[in-house]
Amino acid sequence: MEDGGTPHDPPPSTGPGIQTRTGGGQDPSLRLLLIPPPIHVEDPEQPPPESILLDPFGYLSDRTNATTAGCRRSRRSGRRILVTFWAATPPRVSCFTVHCPGLEPSAFGDIPKRERHYAENIRYFVYQAGTRNRPPSLKRVRTPPGLVLYSNDAVLLRCRDRDTFFLAALRRRRSSRTGGWSTRLMNVESPQDFMHFTPNKVIAIGGERGHPMCVRNIIVLQGYIKYFEMDKNFRPCSDAECTGTVAVGWVAATKNMKASNVGSESSWEEDSTVKLYEVPVDSPAYAEMLPDLQQGQDAELTLKRVHAAYPALSLHDGDVVYIMHMPDHLEDRASVIVVDMRSKTLKGVADFGSGRPLGYGFTYIQSGISKHLGSWSTSR
């Protein structure tokens, strides 16, 4: 994760009401920093869910729990940084919070991130969940002069047998045991193989068209690569005054491939296909949370009018996919719905949004860290 602070801790601010460069009004970045974290008090502390939907952008809060870990922010300063995870049962979205005692919110250059974007003067920290015999820990990653870590050029490699980790970046590698960086040559078959891209996951899917991340998702689960895609279904227009086609609704499909077959001649195996516009909303509670889906008093309520985006396959249930429903893209509120691809049913609905603008960044990612968050707290 990243802390968007400055190289040296600035003097405390006189208050959060700083001015923009144009004068007048609160700095938009500070306004986002002051939004409180969406901590769900209704979620039980134990046991945490096997996997979660995690907001990759952190919040500022001095609240702590058994997952809290801290370390010094810099060599020159004895001041500390604390990181805490707040696990929520999906489809609720979990979050993490950051607290720097003695540091005003205005001292942060940007929202803390789970290694997403690059910015100047960033400090990198690695959070490690606790075990039954060891509390959670937070370590600062010190980068050598001249080395810039772009999130898409770096990966964290855990070595459980040696109780250490490697932070591997293009051109360099850092060991948590020695604290030093090393450089190794990486060979590629051709210059074309080394072209720079910035996707989260890359694999050959096949087909003639490509879709952005907002309608696709892919994970590795129990030895299989699981791929999800949804697309709009169209039919010919039946109105005499209408020409062309009209949208019927979303169709979602999943495919599987053994991870060991990647690179071989094996092809994808069809798994499930669901016409979302035929999935009924049977629960009155779900219907109340999705009022914009109603098409009339007598019509059966379905997901036909769902504004679907940002699918996320569950990391612990191979039949479940989480989909964001955002009826108004100008609003900062949405819903997360749970669809069971096997039974073709709606399994849950939760509100999503904390006041931050929704878009390609302010959504969620899947994470399995939740299954480790309860180990230390339950052993005390």
**Residue 48 clears pLDDT 50, i.e. is over it:** yes
Strands 93-99 and 52-54, by their bridges, are parallel
Lowest mean pLDDT: which of 69-83, 190-204, 361-375? 190-204
Mean pLDDT of 38-52: 76
Lowest mean pLDDT among 56-65, 219-228, 274-283, 294-303: 294-303
Give the Cβ contact number of residue 275 at 10 Å: 16
As a whole-number percent, the residues of the chain with pLDDT over 90 amount to 36
Q: What is the mean pLDDT of residues 149-173?
A: 71
Higher-confidence position of 257 and 194: 257
Report the DSSP pairing between strands 245-258 and 269-275.
antiparallel
Q: Name the pLDDT band for 60 (thresholds 50, 70, 90).
A: very high
- Residue 300, C-beta contacts closer than 8 angstroms, at least 6 positions apart: 280
pLDDT in tens, 311-344: 999 999 999 999 999 887 777 789 999 999 999 9
Q: Where are the domains of the chain?
A: 2-191+371-378, 213-358
- The whole-chain average pLDDT of the chain stands at 77
pLDDT at 331 (0 to 100): 74
| Sign of the alpha-carbon torsion through 371, 82, 180, 188 | positive
- Give the tens place of pLDDT for each residue, 119-136: 445 778 889 888 888 899
Tokens for 259, please give them.
Answer: 């991870």
Per DSSP, the three-state class of 295 is coil
* Range name among 5-19, 27-41, 246-260 with the lowest pLDDT average: 5-19
Query: Sorting pLDDT into bands at 50, 70 and 90, what band is 242?
Result: confident
Q: Report which of 318, 344, 234, 354 is spatially closest to residue 336, judged by C-alpha positions.
A: 354
How many other CB atoms are found less than 10 A from the CB of residue 138?
18
What confidence tier does 353 reach under pLDDT thresholds 50, 70, 90? confident
What string of DSSP letters covers 81-128? EEEEEE---TTSEEEEEEE-TT--GGG-SS--BSS----TT-EEEEEE
Segment 352-358 mean pLDDT? 78
Q: What is the DSSP letter of 170?
A: T
Tokens representing residue 308 in the block: 């679907």
Judged against a pLDDT cut of 60, whether residue 211 lies above it is answered with no
Q: What is the pTM of this model?
A: 0.79
With contact defined as beta carbons under 8 Å apart, do 27 and 19 qualify?
yes
Answer with the residue of higher pLDDT: 166 or 109: 166
DSSP code for 26:
B
Say whether pLDDT at 209 is over 70.
no
Q: First vs last Cα of the chain: how many Å apart?
A: 27
Average pLDDT over residues 201-230: 75
Q: Which of 107, 114, 122, 119 is nearest to 33 (CA)?
A: 107
The predicted structure's pLDDT at residue 179: 64
pLDDT of residue 11 exceeding 50: no
Confidence class of residue 172 from pLDDT cuts 50, 70 and 90?
low
- Per-residue pLDDT tens over the stretch 61-72: 999 999 999 998
Residue 52's beta-bridge partner residues?
Answer: 367
Residue 12 pLDDT > 50, yes or no?
Answer: no
Identify the burial level of 372 via C-beta atoms within 10 angstroms of its C-beta, where 0-12 means exposed, 13-18 middle and 19 or more buried: middle
pLDDT of residue 4: 53
Number of Cβ within 10 Å of residue 106's Cβ equals 20
Residue 372 in this model has a pLDDT that exceeds 80: yes
| pLDDT on residue 360 | 53
Cα four-point dihedral sign 61, 65, 68, 74: positive
**Residues above pLDDT 70, as percent of the chain:** 68
